[in-house]
Amino acid sequence: MLNKKFFKTKPETEVVFEFAREDVSSVKLAGDFNDWVPTPMKLDKKSGVFKLKMRLPTDAEFEFKYLLNDAEWENDYQADAYVANDQGTENSVISTKAA
């Protein structure tokens, strides 16, 4: 799940990436905004949801995926779009363009 907060005074969008699946013990976020280096997401033990907050430039689109248990790549079920990648699968896309 993606939650976005647009700032009126800064050219940034705060994005909270969230991922939950019962059989997953670790989740990392990788995308073109972090050179595809998997960044660990923190588990909210109360909700069972892994979360990571980032600030991204406004008026842009970024591709990303989640790395589950350091072994399985997964898309965001509520991404803004999906695009084909060179691995024969798809990447999630997040847009920071104001509606």
99: pLDDT strictly greater than 90 = no
How far apart (Å, rounded) are the C-alpha atoms in residues 8 and 11?
Answer: 8
Mean pLDDT, rounded, of the chain: 94
How far apart (Å, rounded) are the C-alpha atoms in residues 39 and 54?
Answer: 11
Query: Among 60, 58, 68, which Cα is nearest to 28's?
Result: 68
DSSP symbols for 11-57: SEEEEEEEE--TT-S-EEEEEGGGTT--EEPEEETTTTEEEEEEEEE
pLDDT digits (tens, 9 = 90+) for 34-90: 999 999 999 999 999 999 999 999 999 999 999 999 999 999 999 999 999 999 999
pLDDT at 40: 98
pTM for the full model? 0.92
What domains can you pick out in the chain, each with its CATH number?
2-95 (2.60.40.10)
Q: Please, which residues bridge with residue 29 across strands?
A: 39, 66
